[in-house]
Amino acid sequence: MKEVRSWSKPYLTNLIGRKKVDWSIFKYGTTIPKEFQVDFTTANGDRSIKLGENIPIELIYNDESYKVYLRHVNRKESNGGGVLQLRYDHNAPLRELLEKTFSTTYQYLSENRDGKIKKQTPIPEELTEYIDFYQTGEPFVYKMEFQTKSNMEQSKPTFWWVNQGQTYNQEKSGGYLWAPQQNKQGRALPHHVLLLEPKVGDIVFCYSSLEVKSVGVVKKEAYEAAKPTAIASHDWQRDGYFLELTYYDLSPTIRKDEIPEEWRLKESGPFDINGNLKQGYFFELSKDFAGKIYSLFTERFAAEVKLKMEGYQPNHEGPVVKENPIKYFSNREVIDHIYTYIKSKGFYYRKEEVINLFLSLKTKPFVILSGISGTGKTKMAQWFAESVGATEENGQFSLIPIRPDWNDGSDLLGFIDIKGEFKEGPLTKVIRDANSHPDMPYFVLLDEMNLARVEYYFSDILSVMESRKWKDGKIVSSNLLTKETAGIELKLPDNLYIIGTVNMDETTHPFSKKVLDRANTIEFNRVKLDNLAFLKDLEEKEPVVVGQEVFASSFLHLKDVFKKNNELVEQVTNEIVKMNSALQLTNAHVGYRVRDEICFYMAYNDQGNLLKFEEALDHCILQKVLPRISGSDLRVDQLLRNLYQLFTNKQFEDEMDTIEIDANNAIYPQSAAKVAEMLRRLKEDGFTSFWVS
C-alpha cells in the first residue's frame, strides 16, 4: 500500500487515493503529495495540471455533485515544482456535509486543536476517519466514499472456515452452506450448530480438495431448512441449518501448503496441533489469521472481498516481502540511484546503459543481455534488481539456470507427474508470489538462456505476454496454466520482469525472429578492467526499496501513446519507414509490434527527459532492428551499406582497414558502428550476423 503522510492507496479497483480526515478537510480542502499527483493525472485521462492552472472538477457523493477546484500553486518549500491542491473554500454545502459526516473527528479537533499552531493536530488511531476518491471514467470527475468511525465498526466482519469436501460444487452452485442439526446417532455437533452464528457480511473461507477455492460473504443469517436436493445423496439427517452465501472465486486458489505452517500451528479453529485440518464442518477463524492470509494473497481476492477485508493490519510472522518501507522517486532519481549502486560494486557501465536497461524493461518486461563471457551480464541484472530492493532473500529476484535438455514449457512452468499431481516448475512459484504482491517488482534472470532452444521452452510465455490487455485499468494476460492441466489458473503478472543472458558460441542456439521481435537485445561487450575506484574511495551504496509503479508499463497499444505523443510517434515512424526500405531487400523489415515498442521506449524516454532523441533511437535500432539481419549474399551487403549511409550520411568505404564512427557527425553512431562491423565480417568470412563479432 502506497502511503505518504495523510494520504494512502490501498489495493482497491479504481481508487485514486485515500485521505485521512484532518482540520484542513473541514476548512478548505487538502494538499496532494507529489507521489499521488500521478494517480490524479491518470484519473484525469493523463491530463496533468500546469503550474498556475486552476481546474474546476466535480466530486460525487450519493448522486449529489459538488463543484471544487484542482490548483497547481507555487510554494517556496516545493523547490519550484509547485504543489497540487484540492480546494473548496467557498463550497459551504460540501463543508457542512463533511462536518456532519465526520462528526467524530470534527468534535475531537474542535476540542483539542490549538489554533495558534499551524501544525496538524494528531488524531488517535481509534478515531481516524477517511475519504476515498475514486475514478469515474470521466476526467476531473471523482466519486467520494466516506470511511466514518461508525460505518467502519459496523462493516467489520467475523471470519469463518468451512470444510466442504465433496459438497463444494453443489453448495457453491446453490449459493449456500448446509449442515444437519444432528448426526446419525441423534447428537448435535458443535461444528454444525456453529452455522447459526455468522451475521450478514461475515466472511467464510471455503476449503475443499486441499485448497481454499472461494471466499463467501454471508447474505442472510442461518435458518432451519431441509436438506437441499442437490446433496440428497449424502447420508445425513434431513433437518439442518441453511446459510446463504455469495461465493467469490480465488484466482488462483490457495493451497493448504501455501499457508505458512507456523500460522496454522498457532490457529486453533479448523487446525489441529500439527497444523493439519480437523475433521469437522464449520469453524471460527481469528481476525489476525484471516488478515494475514489476506495480506499474503491479496491479489487472489475478488474486488468485492477486498473492500470488506480492507483495514486489517496483522502482525506478520511468516514470509514478508517488504524489508524496508517503499520510497517513491521520479524515473531520473531511480536511474541515478541504480547507476551509483552498480558503480559502487565495481562494475563499470555508462549511465546511458543503465537508462537503456530501465527503459527497455519498462517498454516490455522481457530483455536479452548478450555479449562475450565475463562482461558482467549476470551481475548487471542482479545488481540492478538488488539496488531497488529485489533480492533472492525476499523472493523478488530469482536466478534460473537454463539446462540444454529443455524442450517445452513444462521445464519452466511445471508438469503433471505419473500420479496425476502437478509439480511446479521454477518459474511458477515466482509468478505466484508476484501475483500476491502486485505493488512490488519481481525480477527473474534466465541464465545462459540459449543453451536450449528458446522458442521451444519459452514459447508459451512469449504468447501469453502478447495477450496482455487493459481491463479495469489494469494489465491482464491470458492463462499460463489452467485448472484443467494444472489444477490452478495462473496468469502472467504485470510486475514480473524477465531478463535473459546469452553467449553466442558453438555451444548455443541462435534466436528466431519470433523471439527477437518480442525482446530488447542489449549488447555488453565492453570491459574496463582498470576501474578500481570501488577499491579506493567509492562509497558503498545501500539498496532502496521502490514500488512496482516505477517500472509499470503505461502503454500496450500504439493508441495509448499516440494520445499525448502524436508528433513523437510520427517522427519515430518516419525514421523506421526509411530503414524498412533498406531492410526489405532480405525480408528483414520490421512489423507493427517492433514499431509500437520503439514508440513506447521513445515516449518513456521523452517523459523522463533522459536521453536525446537520436541517442534513444540509436539504442532502439541497435537492439530491435539490427539483430534481425544475417546472411551471406549480395543483398545483405547492399542492405548494410544502405543502412550505414542512412545512419552516417556517408557511404561505406571498403578500402579502409578500420572504420571509426565520428559520433559528432553520425546520426546513430552505435548502430553505424555495428553495421560497419557486420560489413567487415561479411567481407572476411562470407557470412555476417548481428551475433558474430
**Domain containing residue 421: CATH number:** 3.40.50.300
Q: Is 267 helix (H, G, I), strand (E, B) or coil?
A: coil
Same domain, 88 and 57: yes
Same domain, 607 and 622: yes
Same domain, 252 and 208: yes
Residue 324 forms part of a structural domain: no
Rounded to 10°, the helix 558-583/592-608 angle is 120
Give me the pLDDT at residue 693, please.
Answer: 53
Give me the pLDDT at residue 324, please.
Answer: 46
Q: Which of 527, 550, 573 is at the close of a domain?
A: 550
Please say whether the dihedral angle defined by the alpha carbons of residues 26, 27, 29 and 34, taken in this order, is positive or negative. negative
- Cβ–Cβ < 8 Å for 431, 479: no
Q: Is 86 helix (H, G, I), strand (E, B) or coil?
A: strand
Q: Which of 550, 568, 589 is at the close of a domain?
A: 550
Q: What is the CATH number of the domain that holds 256?
A: 3.10.590.10
CA distance 357 to 522: 8
Residue-number span of the structural domain to which 35 is assigned: 2-153
DSSP for 581-623, written as a single string: HHHGGGT----HHHHHHHHHHHHHHHHHT-S-HHHHHHHHIII
Same domain, 262 and 294: yes
Give me the pLDDT at residue 542, please.
Answer: 83
Q: Is 244 helix (H, G, I), strand (E, B) or coil?
A: strand
Same domain, 244 and 336: no
Per the listing, cell 568470412 goes with 685
- Ranges of residues in the chain with a pLDDT under 50 are 313-324, 657-658
Domains contained in the chain, number:
4
Q: Which of 278, 309, 340 is at the close of a domain?
A: 309
Give me the pLDDT at residue 151, please.
Answer: 66
Same domain, 37 and 11: yes
Q: Longest Cα pair distance anywhere in the chain, in angstroms?
A: 102
Residue 316 forms part of a structural domain: no
Residue 319 forms part of a structural domain: no
Same domain, 540 and 562: no
Same domain, 372 and 431: yes
Residue 265 forms part of a structural domain: yes
Per-residue pLDDT of 339-362, as tens digits, reads: 999 888 877 788 999 999 999 999
Residue 580 forms part of a structural domain: yes
Residue 315 forms part of a structural domain: no
- Cβ–Cβ < 8 Å for 15, 134: yes
Same domain, 249 and 362: no
Residue 325 forms part of a structural domain: no
Q: Is 271 helix (H, G, I), strand (E, B) or coil?
A: strand
Cα–Cα distances in angstroms (integers) from residue 396 to residues 10, 350, 442, 497, in the given order: 21, 25, 5, 10
Give me the pLDDT at residue 467, please.
Answer: 92
Same domain, 239 and 362: no
What stretch of H or E contains 435?
helix 426-436
CA distance 360 to 662: 26
Same domain, 294 and 337: no
Same domain, 167 and 214: yes
Q: What is the CATH number of the domain that holds 91?
A: 2.40.330
Q: Would you put residue 375 in left (φ > 0), alpha (ψ -120 to 50) or beta?
A: alpha
CA distance 607 to 612: 12
Give me the pLDDT at residue 117, please.
Answer: 63
Residue 166 forms part of a structural domain: yes
CA-only gyration radius of the chain, Å: 30
CA distance 203 to 287: 11
Q: Is 671 helix (H, G, I), strand (E, B) or coil?
A: helix
